[in-house]
Each structure stands twice: as C-alpha cells, then as structure tokens.
C-alpha cells in the first residue's frame, strides 16, 4: 500500500469529539498528500458485496448482442451498458480495455432534477441485478456523505456544508469488466492514467491487482484495498473547489502480467457528483498570495459536460 493511509469511518462516527477530530486530521492529511485513503467501517456488508459481484459477473457474461439491448445510443454512457473500447482517457485516442454498466441517481417525480436524470435501465434476465445495484448506490452514497462531512471540517467549513449539494446529486455507480486479454494490446491499457471528474470516488475492493496511484513524487504506487476497505480518492471537482489544496490524484489500471491475461477483472466505483448548479469556484480560504487562484469559475454541470466530451462519451 505504500503511502496510502488506512482509516476507519467508525472513528468519525464514534461520538467522541477527540477521536472524531483525529479522523478529520488523518483523512485531510491523506487526501492532501496523496489524494487516496483506504477506508473501513463503511455501510456495505461482505455478504452484500459478494451478491453484487455475482450479479455483475452474470450480466457481463451475457452474449454481446444481448448486452447491446441495454446500450442507450447517444446517452453519453450515463445509464445502462457501454461496450468494450468505447471510453478513452482525456487526451487519448485509444479506447480503454473495458466495458461497463451505469446505475444513476433516482429522484422523486416532483424533484427539480427529475427531468435531468434519465431512468435506470432494467435487466430482467439477471435476478436482483437492479435491486442490488441501487441498494449499493444508496449505501455508498451514505458513506460518501460522511466522508464529505469530514472533508468539510478539515476545510474549516460547517460539517454539513456539502449536504445540500450532493442530495439528489448526479452520482453514478459504475460496474466495470476488464475482459481477458487475448492478444498483445497496441498501446491500450485497462484504464489509462486519468483523474476522476467528480467530488470523490469510492471504489469497492477490486477483484484483482492493477490499480496504481501517482504520488506527489511522480512515482506509481500499487493501490490494493483490503477485503473490508473502500479505496477513496479526490476528484477534479473537489480539486477545483479547494484550489488544489485537496488535489485530484492521477491513477490508472495497468495490464496484468502475460501469465494472467486469461483472467477477467471486475471493479465497482461510486462517483459522488453534486447537483448541476453547484458553484465550483475556488474557496476564498484556499486562495492567497502563495496559492493564487488556479481555475476559472464554473458550475458542476458545465464542467461535467466538458469532461464527457473530452472522454468521447458525448459529442461537442
């Protein structure tokens, strides 16, 4: 794990002000220094995770023509199935070696954001697929909210500062399948080096190695969570908001050794997004003579659209 710290969310939720503050300082230090932490004490049970992975594997084992029934052409990959090689990292013209599925936010019909969010895609041929996916979405959303509350305190904001921005936010739960590699890739990797778009990302313990994090020295560090941990990292939106005080960390998923080419890899990240009208202008407290403002003002919705275009998921 190298420099990536291991933390326990139960310390933040303990009710003891001293223990809580120690957690806040530790998570702030981890995010400030490398942008990643490994977190236990979240709200997902081992049994739930096992059931979810079994369901996800069953979906990706379907024939491609059947999976394509759940692909939404022109949907920007925001719901349902996105086939192999469709997404590329920003600045890359080679598609990543992966296929994926998206579960998205669901809001009440009278919500001001109801028209903004496409409905989730039902997969009736896989029992419990949609139920397990949305239960996982809510449990990770609940965990992410507590992490953001700790971050708010670290930034000397009100603890619930982010609450109104992430309630009904445009968050995404992504189930990824990195298929077996059948021939030497021509410059492609499972996921090229990139920073995430959103506020924070919560990654369930990925099945198989390959995730690497670029530390502040420019070195690649292997990042493998324990079975009961989530890997959590800062996204570009929070980087902008904090004027790089909490900096989004570049990470990648490298191809395995040739002896392991025949194995699939599954990974399930949760991307915590705010509502589209959240102002990502740099916090005044993070701007001074030594740290001049590095980003132009922009809303979360406009920034997301820019990045989806750069990823090749929507057209300009």
List pLDDT tens digits, range 153-166: 999 999 999 999 99
pLDDT confidence of residue 267: 86
Is the per-residue pLDDT at 176 higher than 50?
yes
Is the per-residue pLDDT at 186 higher than 70?
no
Tell me what the mean pLDDT of segment 201-214 comes to: 74
What is the band of 1 on the pLDDT scale with cuts at 50, 70, 90? Answer: very low
Residue 219 lies in a domain: yes
Is the per-residue pLDDT at 94 higher than 60?
no
pTM of the model: 0.88
- 3-state SS, one letter per residue, for the chain: CCCCCEEEHHHHCCCCHHHHHHHHHHHHHHHHHCCEEEEECCCCCHHHHHHHHHHHHHHHCCCHHHHHHHCCCCCCCCCEEECCCCCCCCCCCCCCCCEEEEEECCCCCCCCCHHHCCCCCCCCCCCCHHHHHHHHHHHHHHHHHHHHHHHHHHCCCCCCCCHHHHCCCCCEEEEEEECCCCCCCCCCCCEEEECCCCCEEEEEEEECCCEEEECCCCCEEECCCCCCCEEEEECHHHHHHCCCCCCCCCEEECCCCHHHCCCCEEEEEEEECCCCCCECCCCHHHCECCECCCCCCCEHHHHHHHHHHHCCCCCC
Residue with tokens 């349902």: 80
Choose between 136 and 265: higher pLDDT: 136
Ramachandran angles phi, psi of 268, nearest 5°: -135, 95
Is the per-residue pLDDT at 77 higher than 50?
yes
Angstrom distance (rounded) from CA 143 to CA 191: 25
Give the distance, in angstroms, between the CA of residue 236 and the centroid of all CA atoms in the same chain.
11
> Which residues lie across from 100 on neighbouring strands?
82, 176
Residue 316 lies in a domain: no
Is the per-residue pLDDT at 45 higher than 90?
yes
Is the per-residue pLDDT at 189 higher than 60?
no
Residue 292 lies in a domain: yes
Residue 303 lies in a domain: yes
What is the band of 188 on the pLDDT scale with cuts at 50, 70, 90? Answer: low
Residue 181, domain CATH: 2.60.120.330
Is the per-residue pLDDT at 310 higher than 50?
yes
Q: Which domain holds residue 168?
A: 6-310
Residue 1 lies in a domain: no
53-62, 99-108, 192-201, 208-217: which has the minimum mean pLDDT? 208-217
CA dihedral (110, 113, 114, 120) in degrees, to 10, reads -140
Is the per-residue pLDDT at 167 higher than 50?
yes
Helix 129-154 vs helix 46-60: angle between axes, to the nearest 10 degrees?
Answer: 120
Angstrom distance (rounded) from CA 255 to CA 220: 14
Angstrom distance (rounded) from CA 194 to CA 233: 12
Q: How does pLDDT run across 208-266, given as a tens digit for each residue?
A: 567 788 877 888 887 777 888 999 999 999 999 999 999 888 878 765 566 556 677 88
15-24, 104-113, 259-268: which has the minimum mean pLDDT? 259-268
Mean of pLDDT over the chain? 87
Q: How does pLDDT run across 115-128, given as a tens digit for each residue?
A: 999 999 999 999 99
Residue 276 lies in a domain: yes
Is the per-residue pLDDT at 2 higher than 70?
no
pLDDT confidence of residue 223: 77
The structural domain count of the chain equals: 1
Residue 179 lies in a domain: yes
Residue 315 lies in a domain: no
Choose between 189 and 201: higher pLDDT: 201
């Amino acid at each position: 794990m190298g420099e990536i710290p291991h933390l326990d969310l139960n310390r933040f939720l303990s009710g003891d002000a001293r223990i809580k503050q120690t957690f806040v300082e530790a998570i702030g230090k981890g995010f400030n220094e490398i942008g990643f932490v490994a977190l236990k004490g979240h709200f997902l049970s081992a049994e739930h995770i096992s059931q979810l992975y079994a369901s996800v594997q069953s979906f990706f084992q379907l024939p491609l023509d059947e999976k394509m029934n759940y692909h939404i052409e022109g949907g920007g990959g925001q719901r349902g199935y996105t086939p192999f090689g469709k997404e590329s990292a920003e600045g890359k013209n080679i598609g990543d070696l992966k296929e994926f599925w998206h579960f998205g936010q669901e809001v009440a019909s009278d919500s001001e954001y109801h028209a903004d969010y496409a409905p989730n895609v039902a997969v009736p041929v896989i029992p419990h697929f949609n139920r397990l996916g949305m239960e996982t979405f809510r449990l990770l959303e609940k965990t992410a909210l507590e992490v953001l509350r700790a971050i708010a305190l670290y930034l000397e904001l009100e603890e619930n500062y982010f609450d109104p921005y992430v309630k009904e936010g445009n968050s995404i739960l992504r189930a990824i399948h990195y298929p077996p590699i059948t021939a030497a890739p021509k410059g492609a990797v499972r996921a090229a080096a990139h920073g995430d778009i959103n506020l924070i990302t919560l990654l369930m313990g990925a099945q198989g190695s390959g995730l690497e994090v670029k530390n502040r020295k420019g070195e690649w560090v292997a990042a493998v969570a324990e079975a009961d941990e989530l890997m959590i990292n800062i996204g570009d939106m929070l980087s902008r908001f904090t004027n790089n005080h909490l900096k989004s960390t570049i990470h990648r998923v490298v191809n395995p050794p040739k002896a392991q080419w025949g194995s699939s890899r599954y990974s399930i990240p949760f991307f915590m997004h705010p509502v589209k009208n959240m102002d990502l202008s740099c916090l005044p407290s993070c701007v001074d003579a030594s740290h001049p403002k590095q980003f132009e003002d922009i809303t979360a919705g406009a920034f997301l659209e820019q990045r989806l275009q750069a990823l090749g998921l929507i057209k300009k």
